Amino acid sequence: MPQISLLGCGLMGAPMARRLAAAGFPLTLWNRTRAKAEALADTGARVAATPRDAVAGASIVITMLEHGGVVSEVLFGGGCCATEHAALAGLAPGALVIDMSSILPEQAREHAQRLQAAGVTALDAPVSGGTLGAEAGTLAIMAGGNPADFERARPVLTAMGRPVHVGPTGSGQLAKLANQMIVGITIGAVAEALLLAERGGADPVKVREALRGGFAESRILEVHGQRMVQGDFAKRGSIAIQLKDMRNAQHTAQGMDFDMPITDELAALYASAAEHGLAELDQAALFKELQRRQKAV
């Protein structure tokens, strides 16, 4: 089995590491907060002090980091990571870097070009499914890059979910932006609909139950709708991350001269939610922002 290094052991990276270890892959871990990587020591994984140390001897390197700027720092140096301790300094020629973070398509293309210049191949393979999908190994994985590199990565990706090759470098991130647009917009639709039902005197718990299985059925209605009616807004994803993704979609659309009025409206709602103290709650907390607006009427 290939030696794998995973850089980033946060909300998503930690359960992904457990899936890889359970599949039998030899694993080395690194995280900016070392304690998060050490919490996974029971998997048998080695914990490294720096990205450079973590990737030494690895044929496949996976990054699951906060945003494109952090990915760049960890791979190439700067900010949180000195250049001599960055992953590039330790990557072997022929290694494959799979960035599973959610970043801009243009950043994915830039990173791939820099890696290729150093004799390293790259895939952008962001995911959808949240912490529940990461724990269950059912993540939707959208991969951009060379088809041969995707086939090389397939056994590793399959340990974490359902990988699909969607096109050349950057296409995985485009697919993730499409996913996040649908997720963000649908969360808004579910929240507003349940609040309307409640305002009119219907039981939102029962309304959600009645809608299940009809044309309004969705994973969002199932999972986030349940969180809304239960008032459970504990962080799995977050308003802040959803807003970041919506803004990435807006940025990408602007570069294509593509008009996105629905996404623009929802991005403004998530921004307002963040401004009113909801940034670190689950995306379902958009319900609370819409609820607050109703009380202000």
Let me know whether 17 and 118 are in one domain.
yes
Residue 88's Cβ-side half-sphere holds a number of Cα atoms within 13 Å equal to 22
Q: How many domains does the chain have?
A: 2
Q: Which residues contact 53 (CB under 8 A, 6 or more apart)?
A: 30, 85, 90
Token pair of 135 as six digits: 């724990």
Q: The domain that contains 42 carries what CATH number?
A: 3.40.50.720
User: With 80 as the cut, is the pLDDT of residue 267 above it?
Assistant: yes
The per-residue pLDDT for 295 is 73
Q: What is the pLDDT of residues 74-95, one digit of tens each?
A: 999 988 888 899 999 999 999 9
232 is in which domain, residue-wise?
A: 175-296
Instruction: Tell me which of 118, 147, 167 is where a domain ends.
Output: 167
Q: What is the pLDDT of residues 82-133, one digit of tens each?
A: 889 999 999 999 999 999 999 999 999 999 999 999 999 999 999 999 889 9
Let me know whether 158 and 16 are in one domain.
yes
The per-residue pLDDT for 297 is 53
Q: Choose the catalytic residue: 176, 206, 244, 295.
A: 176
Instruction: Tell me which of 133, 167, 201 is where a domain ends.
Output: 167
Let me know whether 194 and 161 are in one domain.
no
Can 288 be counted among the known catalytic residues? no
Q: Which residues contact 238 (CB under 8 A, 6 or more apart)?
A: 279, 280, 281, 282, 283
Q: For residue 21, what is the enclosing H or E element?
A: helix 13-22
Q: Please give the share of the chain, as a percent, with pLDDT higher than 70.
A: 99
Let me know whether 60 and 207 are in one domain.
no
Instruction: Tell me which of 146, 167, 188 is where a domain ends.
Output: 167
Q: Please give the average per-residue pLDDT across 178-182, as a whole number.
A: 96
Q: Which residues contact 150 (CB under 8 A, 6 or more apart)?
A: 123, 143, 163, 165
